[in-house]
Amino acid sequence: MEILDKSLNFIEQIVTEDLASGKHQEVISRFPPEPNGYLHIGHAKSICLNFGLPQKFGGRCNLRFDDTNPEKEEMEYINSIKEDIKWLGFDWGDHIYYASDYFDQLYDWAVLLIKDGKSYVEDLTAEQIREYRGTLTEPGKESPYRNRTIEENLDLFTRMKNGEFKDGDRVLRAKIDMASPNLNMRDPVLYRIKHAHHPRTANKWCIYPMYDFTHGQSDALEHITHSICTLEFEDHRPLYEWFLNNLPVPSKPRQIEFARLNLSYTVMSKRMLLRLVQEKVVDGWDDPRMPTIAGIRRRGYTPEAIKAFADRIGVNRMFSTIDFALLEHFLRDDLNKKALRVMAVLDPVKLIIDNYPDNQEEMVEADNNPEDENSGTRQIAFSKELYIERNDFMEFAPKDFFRLSIDKEVRLKHAYFVKCTHIVKDDTGTITEIHCTYDPNTRSGNSTDGRKVKGTLHWVSVKHAKEAEVRLYDHLFAQENPYDVAEGKDWIETVNPNSLVKIKAYIEPSLTEAKPSVPYQFLRNAYFCVDSKYSTPSNPVFNRIITLKDTWAKLQKK
């Protein structure tokens, strides 16, 4: 008996067996989003899985839009989904399809089920259908319309198609088993009437197939070998297979379910995300606090970090919630390798070097990224007056405070040693100026006499600095599980009021030309990127991608 590679997840093991047995010659998977909203990071895991399988084993992945509900579908969503997939680094090539491509064939198959006595037109209301379906412990009861003649069903279904009835008047149901322990098998609805304009088929149809009737047959028409779904579709699999076994489909795909991604401090429901957008809790689907792919892309996340995260959490069948800090760990790891190091002061106080010549300016050399020897260096202007971070100075400092205080010496990054002599305060007692002297023999941060200092501060030249808006993002929700609210409370009340803080900061002049796709580490602060939506060269806006502190990595060391 062949022993499977334990490094493979359970889906990869199935694929390996199917290829080894000759059941399939290649892997054909599909990613089937419904264009009724923006994709989120849970979809990113599914994208990585569905596109990753053919990359690993040979084959292709189809992109297929499940456009069976015209009232909720928009071209905006279709275009955003395409952009998200490409941003993650995947390509469907020529294999882009729509469920609406198969509407004619699906209709013909629905007629075939009627002719075979396996479906019927239902006159009960939606509420009555639910009542007749029964419960998990009680069987359903048959509809009084279940035993209509084939001729009557064909006539009514044709009239449904021709637009003779109003929305909700009738549906087409499969005739399976009202006593089945699986509620999905209790005569499920196949078609409903919707007099709605479709983005692709316009007004050709006023009846539309349900997802369960569309999905498996679409897979079969595209010769999908492995149809990967999340676990909520496990109970739908018998119905998926019933359709394949009762229709003359050209192939028999296999549905396999895996556990969906759940993250702490966020929600993964399109309905809930849509509410956040509609109630303007966030700035649209691409708000950097949203878990949408568009949102995290605007925030500054990288596709490499998302794919590394997806690979790390793996594929299994157990429900779990992943700590958001794990995602942040992979993001920091990637940003550390590629982010350019720059200086920006977020809470400025003026530092004046009294013994530096008044009108003198000089350029100091700074490395762009010590983690990347090919990143090169840049020149930064240095002058008499600088901005430093307010919390980098303490008037009465304890012994373990290694930054600046009176009579203490520190290094200015890429520049000189400075020593504080005195400070100036305003009428409220707030420090407005820190006065220092510098040692001209310590250029580039090295003293000629060999003395050492423990503290190194970042800075920007007052004369050369540019003002920027900096947006400090945090978790959108204040509690780890936003769904866990007391009875009578609304989950939206758990939104973190401090999830976005806007401040004015001073940045290096070069950052006015920063590109949205380029990440930066503001030295000693956090990772940032240009906001692709609002930033301009004259009014730069930077988003905090993530802080420098890695909580997940530290937890693993305990």
Catalytic residue among 34, 83, 241, 304: 34
Looking at this protein, which amino acid is placed at residue 293?
A: I
Candidates 161, 175, 270, 341; catalytic one: 270
Provide the β-strand partners of residue 363.
Answer: 381
Give the DSSP per-residue string, 387-436. Answer: EEEGGGB-SS--TT--SB-BT-EEEETTS-EEEEEEEEE-TTS-EEEEEE
Mention every residue, 6+ apart, whose C-beta is less than 8 A from residue 428.
Answer: none
Cα separation values, 390 from 167, 354, 434, 511, 548, Å: 65, 19, 10, 22, 19
Whether 260 is a known active-site residue: answer yes
Tell me the sheet residues that pair with 420: 406, 436
Is residue 34 among the annotated active site residues? Answer: yes
126 alpha-carbon distance from chain centroid: 35
Q: Of the residues 118, 194, 200, 260, which is catalytic?
A: 260
Strands 226-230 and 254-258: parallel
385, β-bridge pairs:
352
| Helical segments of 34-140, H only | 41-57, 75-87, 103-115, 126-133
Bridge partner list, 460: 387
Q: Could you give the angle at the alpha carbon of 154 between the alpha carbons of 149 and 155, nearest 5°?
A: 100
**Residue whose tokens read 């556990």:** 259
Backbone angles phi, psi at 245, to 5 degrees: -80, -15
Q: Which two tokens stand for residue 190?
A: 């196949």
Q: Which two tokens stand for residue 545?
A: 């991608």
Q: Report the alpha-carbon distance of residue 217 to residue 396 in Å, rounded.
A: 74
User: Torsion angle of alpha carbons 530, 536, 538, 541, nearest 10°?
Assistant: -40
How far apart are alpha carbons 353 and 91 in whole angstroms? 56
Catalytic residue status for 270: yes
SS3 assignment, position 527: strand
Radius of gyration of the chain (CA): 31
Give the count of beta carbons closer than 10 Å to the beta carbon of residue 382: 24
Shortest CA distance to 302 belongs to which of 143, 520, 153?
A: 520
Please tell me the distance from the alpha carbon of residue 293 to that of residue 270, in angstroms, as a whole number: 13
What contacts 38, CB < 8 A, 6 or more positions away? 77, 80, 81, 84, 273, 285, 286, 290, 292, 293, 294, 295
Supply the residues annotated as catalytic.
34, 260, 270
